[in-house]
Chains A and B, each alone.
Chain A
Amino acid sequence: MTSTTGDIALLVIGTFALLTALTFLGEVLALRRPGPVVETYRTRVHSWWAMVILFGLALILGQAGVTLLFAFAAFAALREFLTFSTKARADHLSLALAFFAVLPLQFLFVWLGWTGLFTVFIPVYAFLLLPIVSVLRGNSDRFLMRVAETQWGLMICVYCASHVPALMTLDIPGIGDRSVLLIAFLIMVVQLGDLLDFWFGRRIGRHKIAPGLSPKTWEGMLAGVASAALIGAVVAWLTPFGVLGAAGMAALASATGMFGNLVLAAIKRDKGVNDWSHLIPGQGGFLDQLDSVLFAAPVFYHVAHLVWMP
């Protein structure tokens, strides 16, 4: 067993222990104080189990597994986004291309490690091509709105999501096959930061960041980011960043993610929905679950590239 596999095993066992404790707590609460809140909590823990198991399997399969997992997640997120986006019948072909050509190609380029291509494919080529495909049908009604919303969906749900498996293509000196652990690091600090932001926000939150849009508070966010930094420092052994570097990267990823969550909350509000879909029991949609990770991934990728690659 290589040290990487060993570390993955350690992570998986640690997470399983945490989830087992949370599941046990849910069962006890369900007996003592049954009610809708406990039921929601139990549904969420069950969804967490499914996500952790899937993610663990993907990590063990390595680059192919992680790429495939995030390609599917990106597909689910894009479907949720484009369900509510402005579109017309004239966009049918360009939307079909977004789902069935742009998305698979982006993840293929990531899997092949063609950095020069996957960083510009959607921002340049899809950006120019899809409006051309739409305009050929000759409908100019709300044209800019239609192409802009499609492009925004592709950027968030596909381009940003592809930066998670793209972390495995980073050739940081001395990282070897441990780049897969960077992904575990990113997801862990962002998701735990979100949870702790929520937890602290409920207890010490006073000042809302965006009143009327989200219950997020400055106090909760600061405490969440600080906790993410602390967790990042504790699991710094997963990364090549060192303890301080890992704490800084964790704080950066967590803060970016929280603001990303706010941005997507504004879009949901604008479209008149509470959740993007119903596909993850207790959590809403894939996009609800992933919004913070999607915002954090490209920033995390580029800062790691800037600072740690010679």
Chain B
Amino acid sequence: MTTRNSLVRRMAVRAAGHAITLFARIIAAPRADWRGIAPEQKQRVYYANHVSNGDMPMIWSVLPAALRRQTRPVAAADYWLKTPLRAFAGAEVFRAVLIDRRPEARTSDPMEAILAAIEEGSSLIIFPEGNRNMTDDPLLPFKAGLYNIAKARPDVDLVPTWVANLNAILPKGEVIPLPLICTVTFGSPVHIQPDEGKDAFLARASTALSDLAPPLHDRVAKGEEARA
């Protein structure tokens, strides 16, 4: 009984994974632009800009299947454990490293979970801004997480990953996604310098990411909230 259950579950996980990539492809025809690195089997931390809940599935969809299997997104537990469906998708389909964003309530150190996932050989997708960016600026200031990873594991490639257009495809508060084309650009890996401080490193990593943003048209959709 248990084996059959787990078989059914494994198949459900695979089917859900295919459904998510297919849905992403129909809506946004996402394209990977491997500008700074090649899509090869190598342990990496993809750090990306965050404007929409679709960011992570979009990056996940453009990774070649073999790379996708070894890549786990780092995601907020409060979001991904809210409903049973999200819990299934988050924990089993994406195999997310779930972390608690509320420092006052958490019982475990999120950095430990992240480093443990790197230790077991997984690549990661992380959003170093911590929250969805609703401002006019291309990026919010990065949280310390990326610096801590870089310092603990200087050998792992930190790959800046720019997801373009998702703020226009599904802005916060809208229901119908626009079928615009989404491009995911992977830049050249960033590594920490021996005597580089936290702020200097985070600024450098942030610039490496925002440099990948396409000129103008990507940022047009924002600004309204700031002006309103």
Contacts and interface: CB of A to CB of B under 8 A. Distances in A.
Interface of A: 75, 79-80, 82-90, 92-93, 95-96, 99-100, 139, 141, 271-272, 277-279
B217 A86 contact: yes
Residue of B216, B220, B227 contacting most chain A CB atoms (<10 Å): B220
Interface string B208-228: 000000111100111111011
Contact of B176 (A85, A88, A96, A271): A96
Contact of A278 (B31, B165, B222): B31
Closest 5 CB pairs of A and B: A83-B181, A83-B180, A96-B176, A89-B224, A89-B171
B87 interface: no
Given A92-B171, A141-B227, A278-B31, A86 B165 contact: no
Contacts of A88: 220-221, 223-224
A82 B179 CA distance: 9
B29 A277 contact: yes
Contacts of B215: 272
Contact of B29 (A87, A89, A96, A279): A279
Contacts of B228: 139
A93 B175 CA distance: 10
B178 interface: yes
B174 interface: yes
Contacts of A278: 31
A249 to B, nearest CB: 35
Given A141-B227, A278-B31, A279-B29, A82 B178 contact: yes
A99 B224 CA distance: 23
Nearest to B172: A89
21 contacts: A79-B29, A79-B179, A79-B180, A79-B181, A83-B217, A85-B217, A87-B220, A88-B224, A89-B168, A90-B224, A95-B178, A96-B178, A99-B178, A99-B179, A100-B176, A139-B228, A141-B224, A271-B217, A272-B214, A272-B216, A279-B29
Contacts of A272: 214-216
A139 B221 CA distance: 11
- Which secondary structure dominates where chain A touches chain B? helix
Nearest to B29: A279
B134 to A, nearest CB: 10
A94 to B, nearest CB: 10
Contacts, number: 57
A141 B181 contact: no
A176 B178 CA distance: 40
A79 B168 CA distance: 12
Interface in B173-204: 174, 176, 178-181
Which of A83, A85, A95, A271 lies at the interface centre, i.e. has the most chain B CB atoms within 10 A of its CB? A83
A175 to B, nearest CB: 36
A90 B224 CA distance: 8
A84 B224 contact: no
B130 to A, nearest CB: 22
Interface in B10-59: 29, 31
A141 B223 contact: yes
A277 B179 contact: no
A139 B228 CA distance: 8
B29 A82 contact: no
Given A87-B220, A100-B176, 15 more contacts: A79-B180, A79-B181, A83-B180, A84-B217, A85-B217, A86-B217, A88-B221, A88-B223, A89-B225, A92-B171, A92-B174, A92-B176, A139-B227, A141-B224, A271-B217
Contacts of B222: 89
A194 B29 CA distance: 27
Contact of B31 (A87, A95, A99, A277): A277
B157 to A, nearest CB: 25
A86 B220 contact: yes
A178 B214 CA distance: 48
A147 B81 CA distance: 41
A88 to B, nearest CB: 6
A82, A84, A93, most chain B CB atoms within 10 A: A84
A86 B31 CA distance: 21
Contacts of B165: 83
B180 A89 contact: no
Given A89-B171, A277-B29, A277-B31, A80 B178 contact: no
A74 B24 CA distance: 20
Contacts of B227: 139, 141
A139 B174 CA distance: 16
Contacts of B225: 89
Contacts of B31: 277-278
Contacts of A79: 29, 179-181
A145 to B, nearest CB: 10
B14 to A, nearest CB: 26
Contacts of A277: 29, 31, 181
